[in-house]
Structure 1
């Protein structure tokens, strides 16, 4: 076997040259937070409720009434102008202010929840893209190697050193790799389109970074689910519900009512023992004050009971949420441990074995100790180990992303 022009490229991944359009993870997250409609809608909702805080001291409409005619004597030109104002019990204003502030805080926390969910999706998509890029490069290496092996097999078949079966086996394996490359390229474009939508930037054509540097080795989540934005929001929703209850209780209290009147009393009036005539230009005025009590308390009591139930519901919803997130967090930690064990296996043993297998196959093939079928098997096994490592690395990164999401680590 004098003609064996073959080069094995199994001991690593080709270095990708970053293009100007390559986007880093931090830039992708920032673009998404700046442009995504969900975050913008949450910001606007916070602004809306901040403005509504000014409505806490809202008074009912002022009542202005005019009475004209014969309300005092035969005279038809008498008139009475009365201005009255109802003022809710002061505790209502205080309670409504508390409600408005609690709702604003809840909206601000909802904004953080939206950001946390968006960052999670961006990181997840970015991790998927890095995996697909690395896998595509790995398959490209396999493609190049199998193309070279097929060329050798065809030459050896013509010279009688190889069989048609060897050519067919090599060609079949090569076509399978080409199919996998085409699929990975399509998957990469789908993921890239998703990232473009998340970042609201159709100009993104490539990303920077690698699976190896996506997370820190030996990652351990430093936060707890108490910092989860949804858990914090659930506490704020309890505060909102409790504030509503206080307001409903305050509404049962009596309202204050004040009034001012200005009127004419055309005719004779006895002033200091003497009758005097008063025309329409002579005005009589005064004021009134009173309290408004609810005569039918059933609707008020029902609203208070409903508000108490709303608070209880909010507490139960928080308990359910905490239970669910605790389960997810425990599962994520277990996944992290499992994937870390898998990575340790690949880094300390499997990858070294794959590199040794590649080197030994190259040397044995060149010296004629093994045939091409054995080389094909070793090549396939070696690259399968590399693909398994990339999958394990992606899953490890996903575990870290999930833990960051559950702890609110933006």
Structure 2
């Protein structure tokens, strides 16, 4: 009795250690950790901080010029000159820098949206691979029974040795598929660990049922065209709109910079007792080199046109990706409807009928194998369709910025 209790204690202790070594993570938790702990988010935050640190530099005053002149030709008098741009220049420089901060913030939202997409994709793959393992194991258990029955029938002389070897080879091939699937699971776990900020973590385990993801469309999908409001929440749309505003602000700044600068200074050009007012200097720097300002303005106008073209191209690409994702969504939705209504029930009936028939001797070796393979091919087809359906939903969520 003591030995049995000791054995059970050891078993429960080993199971407890194994459970503690696993780290089960839900999909919302994985998304939250990826959008907070991933190094890409840290880099995006640093870029925002950098642009914010440059805001005080918008008031970029030129350094004063210390000069010495001898206006009376008897001694040198010290003086100082300070060139100053018009207040509108400094105002627009600050506006441009604030636009740079907003652009970096929009860039961060693109990063987080991409991270959500990648986490959902890998999580969906892990759920698919987990169900594939279950499908292979069930097939393996049937083939094991089949191999035992085959050996029994071979001993009584009902079948030849080649059929026994074929049965074992089928089971070995299935074990190979299991090993390959386990390797894929390990690779996906490592990728998920990288996304959530824990590199080389293979202890991650996903949880929850593998079922169709929910997606609420804004309207019917026919025809497969997205409206102009479909991508308002997509971070890329906001990024390119902000880039347009930044380009327009830079153009306005270049136009302000072509105006004259003000020069103020101090230098005593008379006797030591001359009045203070006449020691001051005032002047303007004349922008007579017009081609310099024109070239900068023309370049800024080109940047505005480029920014608008990029926005148009982005909308074009988003519409194309959205229409393809909608087509995939409807295609795999029809496939799931078929498998749920017809395919999966038929697969269960095929397995049951084939197992009973081979055990009773009403069907032969090859018929049994073909039927079992067909049944599990149907089940694998269902899992593939479910993964593709969920991937279409994930893509739609990504394109809509959800």
- With normalisation by structure 1, the TM-score equals 0.84
Note the alpha carbon deviations across 1:274-307, whole angstroms, 9 max, x for none.
xxxxxxxx68642122222111111101110110
Note if contact 2:71-2:269 (Cα within 8 Å) is conserved in structure 1: no
Partners of 2:159 and 2:367 lie apart in 1 by: 13
Q: How far apart, in 2, do the equivalents of 1:219 and 1:407 lie?
A: 11
How many Å apart are 1:345 and its aligned residue?
A: 0.6
Counterpart in the other structure of 1:40? 42
Aligned to 2:206: 208
Maintained 8 Å contact 1:354/1:385: yes
Give the alignment partner of residue 31 of structure 1, picking from 24, 30, 33.
33
Q: CA deviation at 1:349?
A: 1.1
Does the 8 A contact of 2:85 with 2:262 survive in 1?
yes
Matches within 5 A, 1:150-299: 150-201=147-198, 202-210=200-208, 212-213=210-211, 215-216=213-214, 219-220=216-217, 224-262=230-268, 265=271, 285=276, 286-299=279-292
User: Superposed, which structure 2 residues align to 1:382-401 within 5 Å?
Assistant: 382-401=375-394
More deviation in 257-266 or 105-114?
Answer: 257-266
How does 1:316-327 map onto structure 2 within 5 Å?
Answer: 316-327=309-320
- Secondary structure of 2:77's aligned partner: strand
The answer (yes or no) to whether the contact 1:225–1:407 under 8 Å persists in 2 is yes
Quote how far apart the aligned CAs of 1:210 are.
4.5
Distance in 2 separating the partners of 1:264 and 1:89: 30
Alpha-carbon separation, structure 2, partners of 1:71 and 1:86: 22
- Quote the Cα distance in structure 2 between the aligned partners of 1:88 and 1:358: 85
User: Shift of the alpha carbon at 1:157?
Assistant: 0.4
Q: CA contact under 8 A between 2:66 and 2:78: conserved in structure 1?
A: yes
Give the C-alpha shift of residue 80 in structure 1.
1.6
The answer to whether structure 1 residue 57 and structure 2 residue 59 are counterparts is yes
Inter-partner Cα distance in structure 2 for 1:156 and 1:200: 56
Give secondary structure in 1 for the equivalent of 2:79.
strand
| Counterparts of 2:268 and 2:338, CA distance in 1 | 94
Unaligned runs of 5+ in 2: 1-17, 220-228
2:354 maps to 361
For the residues of structure 2 that align with 1:339 and 1:123, how far apart are their CA atoms? 18
Structure 2 residue 133 is matched with structure 1 residue 136: yes
Q: Larger Rg: 1 or 2?
A: 1
- Aligned mates of 1:294, 1:207 — CA distance in 2: 68
- C-alpha spacing 1:204/1:171, structure 2 compared with 1 (3 Å): closer
User: How many aligned residue pairs are there?
Assistant: 372
Distance in 1 between residues matched to 2:259 and 2:289, nearest whole Å: 12
Does residue 1:72 correspond to 2:72, yes or no? yes
Q: Tell me the residue number matched to 1:22.
A: 24
Q: Partners in 2 of 1:246 and 1:132 — Cα distance?
A: 56
The CA deviation string for residues 157-207 of structure 1, in whole angstroms up to 9 with x for no partner, is 012233324313322221221121121122222222222222221334232
The alignment partner of 1:83 has SS state of strand
Is contact 2:72–2:270 with CA below 8 Å preserved after alignment?
Answer: no
Task: Give the counterpart of 1:122 among 110, 113, 119.
Answer: 119
* Contact map agreement 1:23 1:204 (CA 8 A) in 2: no
CA distance in 2, matches of 1:236, 1:221: 26
**Quick check: 1:109–1:232 contact (8 Å CA) kept in 2?**
yes
Greater shift in the superposed pair: 27-36 or 142-151: 27-36
TM-score, normalised via structure 2 length: 0.86
Superposition RMSD on alpha carbons, in Å?
Answer: 2.3
Q: Offset at 1:355?
A: 1.5
Q: Distance in 1 between matches of 2:274 and 2:260?
A: 33
Classify the secondary structure of the residue corresponding to 1:370. coil
Give yes or no for contact 1:129–1:191 (8 Å, CA) kept in 2: yes
Using the TM superposition, name which of 102-111 and 180-189 deviates more.
180-189
Taking a change above 3 Å as real, the CA distance of residues 130 and 18 of structure 1, as seen in their structure-2 partners, is farther
More helix by share: 2
* TM-fit CA distance, 1:18: 8.0
Q: Which residue of 1 aligns with 2:401?
A: 408
